[in-house]
Structure 1
């Protein structure tokens, strides 16, 4: 199975101690965000957990744990964008984050560390030309350390509109100009450019990979293995990424990014983060008497059948 940690919060940035306590304990609980009394128990055993996937804006606090996780296959997607603290109030300096990507790459390999440059939005400060200039600088710095860069343009979810007043969709004209420039830059730095659920028609014409972020093929390539994945429901229409089995919790990311889809508001995030106990099997709070705890059905997806050609 694939264990996810990053669709709802940023565990490497804020909850690394808790995560390692769960690894050492051998299990973790995850509360269902839509049915709060339903808790799923996952066994943290490398025999059934084929890959642990992280999505982070700041893996720096987590670097000290990487060697202890040597029995697991780790896949990191690290988001590095060009925005300042007025947009991303608590994200550390981008140069420090890029340095952490280099450390991850040296330990895990470039194919297991993906750079995300998203979401892309345009305003008077962050213009198309600004994005192109900064993107080129980042590619130059990360070349050789990341195999792939994923881009996407901002989606105006209700939470995003509420927390980021005045933000607008990126026009098709600007999308096309950025995509074309980014593709040319990536080619020059030997970085594979992919998109996340964008308009395929013009992207395909630019020879940009539109297959998805964390697909079966992506993970197979990262770890040089074959996965036998059962039929899974798409996380979103058209999304073929393997995003289930997430142990995170919404409204618990402390970065405070204005465009975030996972946080409702600052007050709720602050309250929930105060309920975090590094020793609890749950990321936030503790098990209640009314909770129904179910054990997840876990099995390895790795095809370990030996080919006749290998005999």
Structure 2
């Protein structure tokens, strides 16, 4: 079994103490986000888990726990989202230099193959076009050269949960957001894909997409998966038994996993986020959080 921590919230950044308490107690309580009456106790004993996959914009709070996790026999992989975006788009993240330093520290502790850089989501707007992204991507790739061999990219989707926040950013900050998949942006997408792959290769990385219908094989970018069975098997040096995760989008290539998170609990405030309905709801839910509880939120 693979534990995902988490697609639904940033556990390393905001709930590291709770996560470690769950590891020490050996279980957590999983609540179905669409049916709160469906609750399941999930083992976190190392002999029941193949790996733990973290997802984070700032996993620094977990860094001090890595020796304990390794001592308990847990295998760790990191999906590290690292963009260089204006404050309006990522208002809560630490400085870029701090996040680069964090990435390098984790790479030293885990190994380059366990560290996946996510340049995600790629946002197209009147203030951030192809050249802007290629410059940002190049600068980060150079700083991560030798610290990872894999980068995952995806393009911003206009989720129902995020449309209102994006419209507010447009009204308040003068942004005009566009869809990379619109036919009018085909040449931009081609130029971006070619540039991303060239920069990644120059810095010793392969680049794959996440949950995208578009085919970028002609530009050297293949369809990928975040919880990638082949990649994890290579890291662990053993075969895993698992199926495609039926609970993800059709375009998602991830193998099945169990997610520890809860929606509407991440306070980073990114307006494009699919996992948050409102900042007010996040604040309400965080007041229900108890680091000693087997539930992330409440009882």
TM-score (norm 1): 0.88
Question: What is the CA-CA distance between 1:231 and the residue it aligns to?
Answer: 6.0
Query: Which stretches of structure 1, 4 residues or longer, exceed 6 Å deviation after superposition?
Result: none
Give the corresponding residue for 2:174. none
Report matched runs for 1:84-123 at 5 Å. Answer: 84-123=86-125
Q: 2: CA distance between counterparts of 1:41 and 1:252?
A: 20
Q: CA RMSD in A?
A: 1.4
Give the corresponding residue for 2:205. 191
1:81 aligns with 2:83: yes
Count how many residue pairs are aligned between Structure 1 and Structure 2. Answer: 285
Give the corresponding residue for 2:56. 56
Report if the CA contact (8 A) 1:82-1:131 is conserved. Answer: no
Question: What is the CA-CA distance between 1:246 and the residue it aligns to?
Answer: 0.5
Give the corresponding residue for 1:242. 255
Report if the CA contact (8 A) 2:78-2:115 is conserved. Answer: yes
- Aligned with 1:276 (options 289, 292, 295): 289
1:31 aligns with 2:31: yes
Q: Which SS does the other structure have where 2:222 is aligned?
A: coil
Question: What is the CA-CA distance between 1:94 and the residue it aligns to?
Answer: 1.6
Report matched runs for 1:136-285 at 5 Å. Answer: 136-165=138-167, 166=170, 167-170=177-180, 171-201=185-215, 203-230=216-243, 232-233=245-246, 235-285=248-298
> Which of 160-169 and 36-45 deviates more?
160-169
Q: 2: CA distance between counterparts of 1:265 and 1:176?
A: 34
TM-score (norm 2): 0.92
Question: What is the CA-CA distance between 1:215 and the residue it aligns to?
Answer: 1.8
Listed one character per residue, the Cα deviations across residues 161-184 of structure 1 (whole Å, up to 9, x for unaligned) are: 111114321222222111110100
Q: 1:239 to 1:40 in 2, by over 3 A?
A: same
Report matched runs for 1:59-74 at 5 Å. Answer: 59-70=59-70, 71-74=73-76
Q: 2: CA distance between counterparts of 1:80 and 1:231?
A: 26
Question: What is the CA-CA distance between 1:223 and the residue it aligns to?
Answer: 2.2
Give the corresponding residue for 1:129. 131
Give the corresponding residue for 1:17. 17
Report if the CA contact (8 A) 1:149-1:191 is conserved. Answer: yes
Report if the CA contact (8 A) 1:78-1:113 is conserved. Answer: yes
Give the corresponding residue for 2:173. none
